[in-house]
Amino acid sequence: MLHGWASGAATRITTDDIIARASTVTWALGPQLLRRAGTMHELQARAIRAAADGALTPLITRYPLSRAEDAHADLENRRAIGKVILVPQPCLRAQ
């Protein structure tokens, strides 16, 4: 189980939650990372600079719009990697 506090508050879990799922618990972004990086604002600024410099490449899974149902199922079942983008196909004009 990986948890963080992107919403501004730590994810609330109980020992019962952990035991019921036989989980190992850690965090994605928390006090250890922030101590290393400084403030959240500094961390965001570093990430934006790295992205602008081409050092960070976003993870994207693309689906044709006709496979929107598959994209949704993959999101629900955590099979999609990164952001999911639905790509519309070119419109075909009647001749």
> Cβ neighbours of residue 10 under 8 Å, at least 6 residues apart?
3, 4, 27, 30
Q: Are residues 26 and 48 in contact, defined by beta-carbon separation less than 8 angstroms?
A: no
Structurally, the chain folds into a number of domains equal to 2
At 28 the pLDDT is: 63
Please tell me whether residues 34 and 17 are part of one structural domain.
yes
At 59 the pLDDT is: 87
Please tell me whether residues 63 and 43 are part of one structural domain.
no
pTM of the model: 0.46
Question: Domain range holding 92?
Answer: 58-95
Q: Are residues 8 and 29 in contact, defined by beta-carbon separation less than 8 angstroms?
A: no
Please tell me whether residues 62 and 52 are part of one structural domain.
no
At 13 the pLDDT is: 79
Tokens of residue 62, six digits: 């693309």
At 23 the pLDDT is: 82
For 68-93, the pLDDT digits (tens) are 999 999 988 888 888 899 999 875 55
Please tell me whether residues 66 and 26 are part of one structural domain.
no
> Cβ neighbours of residue 22 under 8 Å, at least 6 residues apart?
none
At 77 the pLDDT is: 85
For 1-59, the pLDDT digits (tens) are 555 555 566 677 788 988 888 888 776 666 666 677 677 788 888 889 998 999 988 88
